[in-house]
A and B are shown apart, each in its own frame.
Chain A
Amino acid sequence: MLHNVTEVSAESLRDTIAARFPQGYRFITLTCVDGGATWELLYHFDRNYELSHVRVRVPKGAVVPSISGIYACAALVENEVQDLFGVTFEGLTVNYERRFMLAVEAPLAPMVRTPVAQAAARAGEMRM
């Protein structure tokens, strides 16, 4: 089962994670889960083999602050989530503009199970 989960809001996400960086936490990865009306973003960290997680729930269509400015290595995974779930990250250091994992011809945000109308509209916007 999951231990050490900190729930934060999207606004305080960056601060929380910026506080972890100097403490020697290693960023493992970011998991996005389709929670129906929301996206659940789960940031996994490791320190001395001990896992800890930061969870953010944002409504679909909202913009999520990118942590790639803090953990440079997060840029790739954020791009991947952006591709597969259609989450928009703000302040990505390297932005592939949804051409990271998926080609132009591939379906948009294929991992999303329940597309919210709002999200779809936003996705359409981005495609243009």
Chain B
Amino acid sequence: MNNATTSTPRRTVIPFGPQHPVLPEPLHLRLVLEDEKVVEAQPAVGYIHRGIEKLAEVKDFQQNVFLLEHVCGICSFIHALAYCQGIEELMGVEVPARARYLRVVWSELNRLHSHLLWLGLLADAFGFESLFMQIWRARERVLDLEEQTAGARIMLSTCTIGGVRRDLSAEQVGQVLRGLDELEREFDMFVPVVIKDATVKERLCGVGVLTQRQAQELGAVGPVARASGIARDLRVTGYAAYGELGVNPVIETDGDCYARTLVRVRELYQSLLLLRKALRHMPDSPIAVAVKGKPEGEVVMRVEQPRGEVMYYLKANGTATLERVRVRTPTFANLPALLAILPGCELADVPVITLSIDPCVSCTER
């Protein structure tokens, strides 16, 4: 008699992406829903696969700096940094101290702009348009700083093998420091909202919980892992000038979207701190050493991107071109975690949860 209620009801199947306004990037999720509750999420990628790893085997190892910078437009500098550090380790190049500090400066500027961008997109995903505007307004200050120091807003192209390509004058350092002060004042305009607003918390707290165990087993990295209580931040290993500056990983334990937001918000302040420290204590030295010869051997280089650990595996054979360039980006590592936390949430939470791992599809697919 009750066959209508006992038989399994038909489910809603939705293509979420690739052309979708909530993510500027083409990620396709096949969502299966029951009354707006997600029961299954399966991703399809490859909409943005450019074959960079193959291209990097064609271009010479110097050109690769610029190519690999284009793996991702958001953390462009850090990609170049990871690659350059890898080649430097292969060739045994000692990078001058000032260059190492400058690398920290640009890395942290990249991190600031990436986190702000992400915060804005998150605000947009839960429909808080004016918060998005406010955050991106602050982000423009970071972009201005990048343009002032590197000559471009997005593709800094300042990292090179053996050092950096641009130096900062004392005046520029002063400008950046002043810019950072202004930026901090801008933070006060929106950070309390992100942390305290009731509607924001309603959308973030308890949503998409990733337990510490899950995070460990699924290999989550970056803020996703740190929000689940795993202290994993590669800046601790002290590459570039981080060893001198000292970094303590920012940790939250709840593992929900709110915790991930908090981690990134706190990292904004951490970046400010690191930037000020780096700018104030920047030693005087040349900014680059000349690089002679060709790389040979294999190396794995890891650095901390805004989204987490990026891993470069480089294999060189003594010629100008490399034999293998392998890029494992943080989003690729966080995708399994995303797929684990999507089922059970509501459709309205899908954009929020998806964004909470700060997906960079462009990175993921290379």
State A98–B365 Cα separation when bound (angstroms). Answer: 14
Secondary structure of the B contact surface, majority rule: mixed
Asked whether A29 lies within 8 Å of B328 as measured between CB atoms, the reply is yes
A53 to B299: give the CA distance in the assembly, Å.
Answer: 11
CB–CB A102/B53 < 8 A: no
> Quick check: is A108 within 8 A (CB to CB) of the other chain?
no
Which of A11-19, A71-79, A120-128 binds B?
A: A71-79
Task: State in angstroms the CA–CA spacing of A61 and B140 once bound together.
Answer: 52
CA distance A6 to B44 in the complex (A): 33
- 7 pairs across A/B with beta carbons < 8 Å? A2-B298, A2-B300, A26-B216, A29-B326, A33-B323, A101-B45, A102-B49
A34 (CB) vs chain B CBs: closest residue: B324
* CB pair A44 B311 closer than 8 Å: yes
Do residues A102 and B324 form an inter-chain contact, with CB atoms below 8 A? no
CB of A28 within 8 A of CB of B46, answer no
A111 touches B54 (CB 8 A): yes
Chain B 272-295 interface mask (CB, 8 Å, partner A; 1/0): 000000000000000000000000
Q: Which of A42, A44, A73, A101 interacts with B336 by CB under 8 Å? A: A73
Measured as residues with beta carbon below 8 angstroms from the partner, the interface class of chain B is 35 or more
Partner of A76, one of B217, B234, B237, B335: B335
Least Cβ–Cβ distance between A55 and chain B, in angstroms: 10
- Of the candidates A1, A29, A33, the one whose C-beta lies within 8 Å of that of B332 is A29
Interface residues on A, range: 20 to 34
Q: From the candidates A31, A44, A77, name the one contacting B324 in the complex (CB within 8 A).
A: A31
**B207-220 interface mask toward A, CB cutoff 8 Å, 1 = contact, 0 = none?**
00000000011110
Q: Contact between B311 and A29 (Cβ–Cβ < 8 Å)?
A: yes
Question: For the complex, is A89 an interface residue (Cβ under 8 Å from B)?
Answer: no
User: Which residues of chain A in 1-44 are interfacial with respect to chain B, using CB atoms and an 8 Å cutoff?
Assistant: 1-2, 24, 26-29, 31, 33-34, 42, 44
Chain B CB within 10 Å — which of A26, A27, A34, A42 has the most? A26
| Closest-CB distance, B338 to chain A (whole angstroms) | 11
Asked if B313 and A101 sit within 8 Å, CB to CB, the answer is: no
Is B51 interfacial (CB 8 A cutoff)?
A: yes
Q: Is B315 an interface residue (CB 8 A)?
A: yes
Complex CA–CA separation, A107 to B236 (angstroms): 41
Shortest beta-carbon distance, A87 to chain B, in Å? Answer: 14
Interchain CA distance A42-B336 in the complex, whole Å: 20
Contact A31 B313 (CB under 8 A): yes
